[in-house]
């Protein structure tokens, strides 16, 4: 269909008449797919050269907000491309031990995730390498979180994402930050049906339900789900929403706390404690 409509790609045919695409075609098609994944229309970009497509990918990336750690990013990307999982595990583990679990989640992983996302956007790393990155970071965070003996902390926080959201690193990063503040976190992993979030919150006597929405999650679907969940959850249960997508929410729903920045979760936790301490003493 693109051949007919845009004259690209324009494959040659083999003896059996099968289309044969050059490596340049593949690189350009992958770059076009990555830009379509972030919402661009093929008609607008199909005639662009690979350099123009990559420039668009760079221009599309949100500007860095925090001090990058380029050295570690370059090292991690090199290990991913070398498929050296053992070295990656060691590097992430050492960095976590050197800087501590909370700083690792707050200061190191945000820029590192961003760099991995951009390397994928530019076609520098494959999807399977992105998966390896995710698994290794998850393993490091879990090891850090479970280094703390499980304590009956408070508040009790339920962590999950809604169906359609596969990104689970945000949940683990929040758990890492809150575990260091003495909260008791229960994670259901990703993609829990909305009504099951409500039932889990009741079953686990949860104080705070914390949901994660990455940049690509449909805005309207998120705001509708948050409004419905707010109505369904008991008034005493606080509802947090975080992740890059929440930066785009303009109309806040009463009773839904928007936390696009991970660091804001510490402040939100402290205000929850002071609020409930006050109401407990009433
Ligand atoms: C690892 C990863 C994946 C892995 C996830 C594996 C897993 N099990 O988690 C896989 C390979 C599955 C994946 C798939 C896809 N991904 Co992806 N992914 C990433 C990556 C590289 C890193 C980590 C991540 O999960 N980030 C998401 C969260 C953790 O980060 P965040 O939204 O910025 O949230 C920050 C804060 O808000 C806070 N936070 C997050 N949640 C919460 C919750 C609370 C309560 C609080 C207080 C704070 C908080 O912590 C974060 C760090 O500071 C990001 C790059 C990046 N910049 O983050 C791309 C990225 C999110 N993915 C992207 C895309 C496009 C996709 C795919 C559509 C690609 C495809 N076609 O297959 C699919 C979609 C899958 C789906 N339906 O969810 C894009 C989204 C861009 C956009 N505007 O749409 C990104 C930004 C990459 C890029 N640069 O373009 N991805």
pLDDT at 151: 61
Q: What is the pLDDT of residues 172-199, one digit of tens each?
A: 999 999 999 999 999 999 999 999 999 9
pLDDT band, residue 57 (cuts 50/70/90):
confident
> Do the Cβ atoms of 69 and 108 come closer than 8 Å?
yes
Q: What is the pLDDT of residues 81-117, one digit of tens each?
A: 999 999 999 999 999 999 999 999 999 999 999 999 8
- Measured CA to CA, the distance from residue 143 to residue 136 in angstroms comes to 11
- Measured CA to CA, the distance from residue 200 to residue 52 in angstroms comes to 48
- Of residues 258 and 36, the one with the higher pLDDT is 258
% of the chain residues with pLDDT over 90: 76
- Of residues 71 and 259, the one with the higher pLDDT is 259
174 lines ligand 1 (CB under 6 A): yes
Position in ligand 1 atom list of the atom nearest CA 210: 45
The whole-chain average pLDDT of the chain stands at 91
Q: Which residue minimizes the CA distance to atom 91 of ligand 1? A: 167
- Mean pLDDT in residue range 255-260: 96
Task: Indicate if the pLDDT at residue 217 is higher than 70.
Answer: yes
CATH of 156-281, one of 3.30.420.10, 3.40.50.280, 3.40.50.2000, 1.10.3720.10: 3.40.50.280
Output the CATH code of domain 69-147: 1.10.1240.10
- Measured CA to CA, the distance from residue 24 to residue 21 in angstroms comes to 8
- Of residues 124 and 256, the one with the higher pLDDT is 256
pLDDT band, residue 65 (cuts 50/70/90):
very low
Domain boundary assignment for the chain: 2-59, 69-147, 156-281
What's the 189 CA to ligand 1 centre distance in angstroms?
Answer: 14
pLDDT at 150: 66
- Mean pLDDT in residue range 273-282: 80
- Measured CA to CA, the distance from residue 154 to residue 3 in angstroms comes to 60
> Do the Cβ atoms of 166 and 191 come closer than 8 Å?
yes
Q: Give the residue from 64, 85, 76, 71 showing the smallest Cα distance to 120.
A: 76
pLDDT band, residue 123 (cuts 50/70/90):
confident
pLDDT at 34: 82
Position in ligand 1 atom list of the atom nearest CA 268: 47
Output the CATH code of domain 2-59: 1.10.1660.10
Q: Which residue minimizes the CA distance to atom 85 of ligand 1? A: 117
pLDDT band, residue 71 (cuts 50/70/90):
confident
pLDDT band, residue 46 (cuts 50/70/90):
very high
Q: Which residue minimizes the CA distance to atom 44 of ligand 1? A: 242
pLDDT at 22: 93
């Amino acid at each position: 269909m693109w051949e007919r409509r845009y004259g690209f790609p324009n494959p040659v045919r083999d003896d059996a008449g099968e289309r044969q695409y050059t490596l340049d075609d593949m690189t350009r098609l992958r770059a076009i797919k990555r830009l379509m994944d972030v919402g661009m229309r093929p008609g607008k970009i199909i005639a662009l050269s690979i350099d123009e497509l990559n420039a668009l990918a760079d221009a599309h990336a949100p500007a860095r907000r925090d001090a990058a750690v380029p050295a570690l990013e370059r090292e991690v990307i090199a290990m991913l491309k070398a498929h050296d999982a053992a070295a990656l595990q060691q590097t992430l583990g050492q960095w976590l031990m050197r800087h501590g679990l909370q700083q690792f989640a707050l200061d190191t992983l945000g820029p590192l995730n961003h760099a991995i996302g951009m390397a994928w956007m530019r076609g520098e790393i494959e999807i399977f390498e992105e998966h390896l990155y995710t698994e290794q970071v998850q393993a490091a965070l879990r090891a850090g979180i479970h280094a703390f003996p499980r304590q009956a902390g408070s508040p009790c926080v339920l962590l999950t994402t809604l169906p359609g959201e596969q990104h689970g690193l945000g949940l683990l990063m929040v758990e890492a930050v809150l575990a260091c503040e003495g909260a008791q976190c229960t994670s259901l992993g990703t993609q829990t049906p909305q009504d099951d979030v409500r039932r889990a919150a009741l079953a686990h006597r949860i104080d705070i339900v914390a949901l994660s929405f990455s940049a690509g999650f449909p805005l309207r679907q998120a705001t509708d789900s948050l409004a419905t969940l707010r109505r369904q959850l008991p008034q005493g249960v606080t509802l947090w929403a975080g992740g890059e997508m929440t930066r785009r929410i303009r109309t806040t729903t009463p009773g839904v706390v928007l936390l696009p920045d991970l660091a804001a979760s510490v402040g939100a936790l402290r205000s929850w404690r002071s609020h409930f301490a006050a109401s407990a003493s009433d």
